[in-house]
């Protein structure tokens, strides 16, 4: 083209290709950065997790829910649940295992649940 039109087209085409590459890189980075930095879980997801956990009558409350999304099918979470202090360790562990498996099966989130015993008599945490 440059031969027939007497224009140096190589430089112009080089700039156009460079701008296209920069634009494409920006669009890809924009999509991935939110995953790398982490995004807050949706209120619906938080409510689903809370509902599954609180369905068990031995759970008094929960706090410190953290959900980390590492892409499709790669979500992990942690939460502290409050149980009454008269519950024995084996019983509490069995209940928590069932809840963790239920959340994994229903929501696809690998969750770790920490048990906080609380006293029924004076409502103080240990």
- At residue 51's C-alpha, the angle toward residues 71 and 65, to 5°, is 50
pLDDT at 125 over 70: no
Which pLDDT tens digit goes with each residue over 14-52? 999 999 999 999 999 888 887 777 777 889 999 999 999
**Taking Cα atoms as reference points, which of 51, 82, 48 lies closest to residue 64?**
82
| C-alpha separations of 55 from 64, 94, 108 in Å | 18, 15, 18
Q: What are the phi and psi torsion angles at 108 (to 5°)?
A: 70, 25
Residue 79 in contact with residue 115, Cβ under 8 Å? Answer: no
Which pLDDT tens digit goes with each residue over 48-96? 999 999 999 899 999 999 998 877 778 899 999 999 888 888 999 999 9
**Taking Cα atoms as reference points, which of 35, 47, 36, 53 lies closest to residue 100?**
53
| C-alpha separations of 47 from 15, 32, 36, 54, 115 in Å | 50, 26, 24, 10, 19
Question: DSSP letter at 1?
Answer: -
Confidence at residue 81, expressed as pLDDT on a 0 to 100 scale: 96
């Amino acid at each position: 083209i440059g031969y027939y039109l007497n224009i140096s087209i190589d430089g112009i085409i080089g700039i156009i290709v460079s701008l296209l590459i920069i634009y494409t890189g920006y669009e890809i980075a924009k999509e991935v950065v939110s995953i790398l930095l982490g995004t807050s879980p949706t209120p619906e997801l938080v409510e689903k997790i809370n509902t599954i956990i609180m369905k068990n009558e031995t759970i008094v409350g929960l706090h410190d829910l953290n959900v980390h999304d590492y892409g499709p099918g790669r979500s992990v979470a942690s939460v502290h649940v409050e149980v009454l202090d008269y519950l024995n360790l084996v019983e509490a562990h069995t209940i928590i295992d069932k809840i963790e498996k239920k959340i994994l099966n229903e929501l696809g989130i690998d969750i770790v649940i920490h048990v906080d015993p609380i006293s029924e008599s004076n409502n103080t945490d240990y």
